Amino acid sequence: MKIVLLGPPGAGKGTQAKFISEKYSIPHISTGDIFRKNIAEKTQLGLKAKSYLDAGKLVPDEVTIDIVKDRLGNEDCKNGFLLDGFPRTVTQAEALDLFLDNKDQKIDTTLLIDVPKESILERMTGRRVCSSCGASYHVKFNPTKVNGKCDICGGDVVQRKDDTEVTVKDRLNIYDEQTQPLIGYYKKQNKLSTINGTGDINEVFKRVKISLEAYLDDNNKN
């Protein structure tokens, strides 16, 4: 299955992505994780991307699109993939469609994780992430078992530099201006499924599964 996860920063995309990736055996591709890894390793891409991430601004489309195309060309994406944090602009979505179309492929479905703005600030300022595997935790809603250590890989769990109140507000504005239009873009293609992202993490995943199973059922019938 080829899936796109949509939703504002802090909606729980990364959290749900880990579950989906495991259950449906498809790679989780997070552009944010790719940028952060490159910044940590001080690669050329990392040096280019750093100022944008620090400021909560979008990395330019040309740079981002090339990285995703490159990643989707990997062998592990042959039977599907889960995109988290990409596309974030209509230009990116169009480039993705064109890239897949040229290979006679298409996005199957997009899941919009819907969370009211009021909850987002608390989710993001309390977020902690594993600096090694990218897993997302929350000081209150999803704490690590051992303080400061990732449950999955034992890596150091830290606060992201861009998860401060000021940067979060800027990122939400950018979401409204540049990413929100993608809801209409995928609705028009009949590919949008809205998931209620409030409540317990496992409850949200149940809703995700119901939506994906419904999609699979429909497609087996056709």
What are 205's two structure tokens?
Answer: 């995943």
**Restricting to residues 148-207, which ones interact with Zn ion according to CB under 5 A?**
150, 152-153, 155
Q: Is 88 a catalytic residue?
A: yes
Residue closer to ligand ADP by CB (options 9, 72) is 9
Q: Is 171 a catalytic residue?
A: yes
Report the residue from 91, 119, 125, 132 that binds Zn ion according to the rule CB under 5 A: 132
Q: Is 128 a catalytic residue?
A: no
Stretch that binds Zn ion, among 28-36, 86-94, 124-132, 194-202 (CB under 5 A): 124-132
Report the residue from 47, 55, 98, 133 that binds Zn ion according to the rule CB under 5 A: 133
| Torsion sign across C-alpha atoms 8, 9, 14, 16 | negative
Q: Is 146 in the site for Zn ion (CB under 5 A)?
A: no
Catalytic residue from among 88, 123, 128, 207: 88
Residue 28 site contact among ligand ADP, Zn ion, none (CB < 5 to 8 Å, cut-off depends on kind): none
Q: Is 71 a catalytic residue?
A: no
Residue closer to ligand ADP by CB (options 22, 218) is 22
Name the β-bridge partners of 133: none
Name all contacts of 31-38 with Cβ < 8 Å and 24+ positions apart.
Answer: 31/59, 31/64, 31/67, 31/68, 31/83, 31/84, 31/85, 31/86, 31/88, 32/84, 32/85, 33/134, 34/67, 34/71, 35/59, 36/134, 36/160
CA distance 215 to 154: 36
The binding site for ATP comprises 10-15, 127, 136-137, 199
